[in-house]
């Protein structure tokens, strides 16, 4: 494929001809380089394409590493950021759901922490040396620092990493770099969560300094409510009980093990949960 056909991007191409496999597309009429839009996609959309028709498609590589066009819109494009769910972990890396038939690879070399199936990870989409699209969690240096936000603005962001000694790193509007200082952290700020934040300042390097909504815990729910909320999000089960490691509990809920034990004690008394050797389940 000519490089002016932009792999990883939505673009408008022209139908050169239609055959049994599908529609063969070119950038300009008369071009020799073509890319296939599979017939199954055309049929699913009930399109009637003729030579000369223009069609908007996304280009990527199929399971056989061939350039291919699709009418589907992916959750992320080349040079963009998005939180994506891990579908499968293999010996070469983790495959993410980005809305296309072929899952997106997050190579082991591009992972800044261990991934788990079913979890959401904030990634950047790039083209590797072989021309394939791939994801990376190494987003810190890639996030933009030219936001028009100013002090006092309210916005939303995705927490992609937390260093307890430094603070939480946030992708504001999924593209700008922001940070919440360690002293401003509260239990609502957790890796993998979208939060509402206020801009408290803009550093000279363009990084946004942020503060989360400051609510008393009685307003955002007590420890027991947080545990119930997390259990509901994970299908009614959690891999934590009174024997779980304190650091694991801290990472999951932002509370101490003693506070966790008090909370699940109250939930047991109320008949809301049941403890097992593997964790707890909602009743």
CATH number, domain with residue 104:
2.40.50.140
**Residue 36 in domain:** yes
**Residue 28 in domain:** yes
Mean pLDDT in residue range 262-281: 89
**Residue 4 in domain:** no
Mean pLDDT in residue range 81-93: 95
| Poorest-pLDDT segment among 77-86, 165-174, 230-239 | 230-239
Residues 227 and 195 in one domain: no
**Residue 252 in domain:** yes
Residues 131 and 170 in one domain: no
Residues 198 and 237 in one domain: no
Residues 275 and 237 in one domain: yes
User: Using CA atoms, how far apart are residues 84 and 186, in angstroms rounded to an integer?
Assistant: 25
Mean pLDDT in residue range 195-214: 89
Tell me: the pLDDT tens digits for 94-127? 999 999 989 999 999 999 988 999 999 999 999 9
Residues 258 and 225 in one domain: yes
Residues 208 and 252 in one domain: no
**Residue 144 in domain:** no
The counts of H helices and E strands in the chain are: 5, 18
Residues 204 and 228 in one domain: no
Residues 110 and 160 in one domain: no
CB 224 within 8 A of CB 268: no
**Residue 141 in domain:** no
In this prediction, residue 136 has a pLDDT band, given cuts at 50, 70 and 90, of: very high
Residues 225 and 278 in one domain: yes
**Residue 49 in domain:** yes
Tell me: the pLDDT tens digits for 205-245? 999 999 986 543 343 346 888 788 788 878 899 999 999 99
The pLDDT value recorded for residue 214 is 55
The pLDDT value recorded for residue 3 is 52
Mean pLDDT in residue range 190-218: 83
The residue among 185 and 219 whose pLDDT is bigger is: 185
Q: What is the pTM of this model?
A: 0.72
Give me the domain span that covers residue 266. 220-282
User: Using CA atoms, how far apart are residues 264 and 261, in angstroms rounded to an integer?
Assistant: 5
The pLDDT value recorded for residue 85 is 96
In this prediction, residue 188 has a pLDDT band, given cuts at 50, 70 and 90, of: confident
User: Which residues, at least 6 apart from 135, have a Cβ–Cβ distance to it below 8 Å?
Assistant: 76, 84, 96, 98, 104, 105, 106, 110, 123, 124, 125, 126
17: part of which helix (H) or strand (E)?
strand 10-19
The pLDDT value recorded for residue 265 is 87
Number of domains, the chain: 4
Residues 59 and 85 in one domain: no
Residues 197 and 236 in one domain: no
125 burial type by CB count under 10 A (0-12 exposed, 13-18 middle, 19+ buried): buried
Tell me: the pLDDT tens digits for 26-70? 999 999 999 999 999 999 889 999 999 999 999 999 888 889 999
User: Using CA atoms, how far apart are residues 256 and 249, in angstroms rounded to an integer?
Assistant: 7
User: Using CA atoms, how far apart are residues 281 and 237, in angstroms rounded to an integer?
Assistant: 4
The pLDDT value recorded for residue 235 is 87
CATH number, domain with residue 265:
1.10.10.10
**Residue 125 in domain:** yes
């Amino acid at each position: 494929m000519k490089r002016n056909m932009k792999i990883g991007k939505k673009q408008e191409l022209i139908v050169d001809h239609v055959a049994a496999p599908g529609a063969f597309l070119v950038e300009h009429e008369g071009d020799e380089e073509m890319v296939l839009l599979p017939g199954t996609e055309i049929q699913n959309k009930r399109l009637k394409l003729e030579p000369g028709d223009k069609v908007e498609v996304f280009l990527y590589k199929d399971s056989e590493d061939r350039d291919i066009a699709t009418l589907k819109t992916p959750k992320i494009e080349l040079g963009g950021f998005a939180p994506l769910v891990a579908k499968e972990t293999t010996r070469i890396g983790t495959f993410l759901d980005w809305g296309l038939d072929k899952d997106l690879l997050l190579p082991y070399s591009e992972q800044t922490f261990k991934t788990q199936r079913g979890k959401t990870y904030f990634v950047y989409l790039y083209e590797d040396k072989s021309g394939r699209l791939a994801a990376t969690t190494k987003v810190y240096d890639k996030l933009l620092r030219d936001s028009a936000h100013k002090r006092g603005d309210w916005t939303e962001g995705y927490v992609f990493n937390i260093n307890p000694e430094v603070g939480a790193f946030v992708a504001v509007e999924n593209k700008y770099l922001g940070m919440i200082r360690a002293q401003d952290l509260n239990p609502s700020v957790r890796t993998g969560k979208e939060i509402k934040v206020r801009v408290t300042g803009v550093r000279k390097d363009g990084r946004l300094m942020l503060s989360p909504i400051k609510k008393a815990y009685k307003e955002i729910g007590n420890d027991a409510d947080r545990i119930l909320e997390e259990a509901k999000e994970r299908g009614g089960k959690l891999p934590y009980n009174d024997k779980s490691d304190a650091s694991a509990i801290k990472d999951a809920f932002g509370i101490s093990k003693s506070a966790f034990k008090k909370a699940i004690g109250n939930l047991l008394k109320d008949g809301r949960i049941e403890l097992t050797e593997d964790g707890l389940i909602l009743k």
